[in-house]
Amino acid sequence: MITTTCDICKKKMDDPINERTFFRYAETSICEPCKDNLEQNIRTQIRGKDPFTMEWYEKTLKDSCTKACQKGKV
């Protein structure tokens, strides 16, 4: 059995399925609840973002992920 640990909340995920039960961003592995929280945070930033670009979105997602990993929470 493969076990992956979420880099944000440190929760263990048994037999992780990429893009379904865990997600990779900027060299990190994160669980689904953490990904949802990250996207929720970014959604509030998107409202004030004009023009909106995919590059900005991906960079923001990676930056937020890196920060969340350092803090241990989103």
Binding site for Zn ion (CB under 5 A): 6, 8-9, 31, 34
Give the nearer residue to Zn ion in terms of CB position, either 6 or 61: 6
Rounded to a whole number of angstroms, the minimum distance from the CB of residue 31 to Zn ion is: 4
- Given a contact cutoff of 8 angstroms between Cβ atoms, the answer to whether 12 and 1 are in contact is no
What is the C-alpha separation between 59 and 33, in angstroms, rounded? 20
Q: How far apart are CB 67 and Zn ion at their closest, in Å?
A: 14
The residue (of 13 and 46) whose beta carbon lies closer to Zn ion is 13
Axis-axis angle for helices 54-71, 32-46 (nearest 10):
130
